[in-house]
Structure 1
Amino acid sequence: MTTHDAVFTDVEIQYLKSQFLGRFATVDAQGRPHVMPVGVFVDLEEQAIVVAGHTGTNMAASKKFTDARLRPDVAFVVDDLASTDPWTPRGVEIRGRAETFTEGGEQLGRRLDAMMPFDPAWIRIRPRRILAWGLDAEVFELNARDVAGTS
């Protein structure tokens, strides 16, 4: 058993690592939703998803960072079409708890071998529930599970 088995399946990891963009959903202080396209970074060591900004973007001042710090229940979706003929959607939705950090992003980006240098501030999403479709089952079959060992 590898360290990532308790959270992501091998098929989910392979899919997430093959994608460049996902959508990060937060809720602000007034209860209004906010969705933002962000890069897809999987941290297998921490069994989590990382949301980071490019160096110089001042991630700590962003709405997504502020919202995640204030209301840490978040969602992250990565999806695409494997084919349009036949119609073959696939994806992963991760519902979890965000942890915000104001420093360490540069080192984390290097450790993750990210395609861009990270800003110091970053967000870690600890999965609580994972929903996947079209990855290793029928196209429209949903595979949903709570992640063991998360609170």
Structure 2
Amino acid sequence: MFTEAELAYLSEQGLGRLATQQPNGTLQVNPVAFTWNASAQTIDVTGAGLTKSRKYRNVEANGRAAFVVDDLPSLEPIRVRCLEIRGRAEVVPEAFAPDGHLDGAVIRIHPQRIISLGIDDPDHDPLDLVPNNRTV
């Protein structure tokens, strides 16, 4: 599903952006904490009071999400890395034992489409990069 370089990139990043669709059709994007769940082959999103959030209710209602992790590893010369994951999403209310501000819930994203840029080949000018787009 993911290349070795993409898995390494996911493991070194702690923040991503989750996009969900609200009931009125508009999109909502939130910065979120996440982990790669190797056993389930999913992106697991966590957060403070997750079950009370709009993003949680959005996923519960329509089961779709997009997720982006990106950064600029160098400004001189400019280098860009980006991993976009689109797919089916589900809420898992009791994925782990509650811990402090975490209520134990996750939003679990099952990748169906992956778009990768500058991760497998990081030392190129952004204008020369070719996205690695694939359906999984």
TM-score, normalised to structure 2, is: 0.89
Is the 2:49–2:102 Cα contact (8 Å) retained in structure 1? no
Task: State the Cα distance separating 1:87 from its structure 2 match.
Answer: 1.1
Which amino acid in 1 is paired with 2:12? Answer: S
In the alignment, the residues of structure 2 paired with residue 36 and residue 130 of structure 1 have an alpha-carbon distance, to the nearest angstrom, of: 19
Percent sequence identity over aligned pairs: 40
User: Which consecutive unaligned segments of at least 5 residues does structure 2 have?
Assistant: none
Is the 1:8–1:47 Cα contact (8 Å) retained in structure 2? no
Q: Which residue of 1 aligns with 2:131?
A: 142
1:10 maps to 2:1 = no
Task: State the Cα distance separating 1:20 from its structure 2 match.
Answer: 1.3
Q: Which residue of 1 aligns with 2:16?
A: 22
Which amino acid in 1 is paired with 2:81? Answer: R
User: Which consecutive unaligned segments of at least 5 residues does structure 1 have?
Assistant: 1-6, 110-115
Q: Which residue of 2 aligns with 1:58?
A: 49
In the alignment, the residues of structure 1 paired with residue 74 and residue 43 of structure 2 have an alpha-carbon distance, to the nearest angstrom, of: 26
Q: Which residue of 1 aligns with 2:30?
A: 36
In the alignment, the residues of structure 1 paired with residue 49 and residue 72 of structure 2 have an alpha-carbon distance, to the nearest angstrom, of: 32
Q: Which residue of 2 aligns with 1:94?
A: 85
Is the 1:96–1:128 Cα contact (8 Å) retained in structure 2? yes
1:120 maps to 2:104 = yes
1:70 maps to 2:61 = yes
Is the 1:105–1:120 Cα contact (8 Å) retained in structure 2? yes
Structure 1 outlier segments of 4+, above 3 Å: none
Task: State the Cα distance separating 1:8 from its structure 2 match.
Answer: 1.3
Q: 1:69 to 1:9 in 2, by over 3 A?
A: same
In the alignment, the residues of structure 2 paired with residue 131 and residue 40 of structure 1 have an alpha-carbon distance, to the nearest angstrom, of: 18
Is the 1:52–1:105 Cα contact (8 Å) retained in structure 2? no
Q: How many residues align?
A: 131
Which amino acid in 2 is paired with 1:17? Answer: S
Is the 1:105–1:118 Cα contact (8 Å) retained in structure 2? no
Which amino acid in 2 is paired with 1:29? Answer: P
RMSD over equivalenced CA pairs, Å = 1.8
